[in-house]
Amino acid sequence: MTIVGSADQVRPDPDAALSVRGLTRDYHRPRTSLFHASPPVHALRNVSFDVAKGERFGVVGESGSGKSTLLRILAGLDHATSGTVTVNGTEITNLPEKRLGFLREQLQVIFQDPMSSLDPHMRIGDIIAEPLVATAHLGSRDRVAELLEAVGLDANAVNRYPHQFSGGQRQRISIARALAPKPRIILADEPVSALDVSVRAQVLNLLADIVENLSLTLFFISHDLSVVRHVCERVAVMHEGKIVEMGTVDDVYDSPRDPYTRGLIASIPTLDRALSGAVASGLGTDAL
Ligand X SMILES: Nc1ncnc2c1ncn2[C@@H]1O[C@H](COP(=O)(O)OP(=O)(O)OP(=O)(O)O)[C@@H](O)[C@H]1O
* Residue ranges that bind Mg ion, judged by CB under 5 A: 68
Query: Residue 203 or 237: which CB sits closer to ligand X?
Result: 237
68 binds ligand X (CB under 6 A): yes
- HSE at residue 49, side-chain half, CA atoms within 13 A, is 23
End-to-end CA distance of the chain: 38
Query: Can you tell me which of 21, 45, 67, 177 binds ligand X, judged by CB under 6 A?
Result: 67
Query: Can you tell me which of 41, 208, 268, 275 binds ligand X, judged by CB under 6 A?
Result: 41
Min dist. Cβ of residue 46 to ligand X (A) = 15
Query: Can you tell me which of 45, 223, 229, 234 binds ligand X, judged by CB under 6 A?
Result: 223
Residues 6+ apart with CB under 8 A from 34: none
Q: What's the burial of 94, exposed, middle or buried (CB within 10 Å: 0-12/13-18/19+)?
A: exposed
283 binds ligand X (CB under 6 A): no
Which DSSP symbol is given to 98? G
Min dist. Cβ of residue 109 to Mg ion (A) = 12
Query: Can you tell me which of 66, 131, 162, 168 binds ligand X, judged by CB under 6 A?
Result: 66
In degrees and rounded to multiples of 5, residue 62 shows phi and psi of: -75, 175
d(CA 196, CA 238): 26
Q: Residue 181 binds which one of Mg ion, ligand X, none, with CB within 5 to 8 A depending on kind? A: none
Within a 10 A sphere around the Cβ of 107, how many other Cβ atoms? Answer: 25
What's 17-36 look like in SS3?
CEEEEEEEEEECCCCCCCCC
Binding mask 98-137 for ligand X (x = CB under 6 A): ----------------------------------------
d(CA 144, CA 140): 6
Min dist. Cβ of residue 143 to ligand X (A) = 32
Min dist. Cβ of residue 193 to ligand X (A) = 9
Query: Can you tell me which of 2, 27, 269, 279 binds ligand X, judged by CB under 6 A?
Result: 27
Residues that bind ligand X (CB under 6 A): 27, 41, 43, 61, 63-69, 223
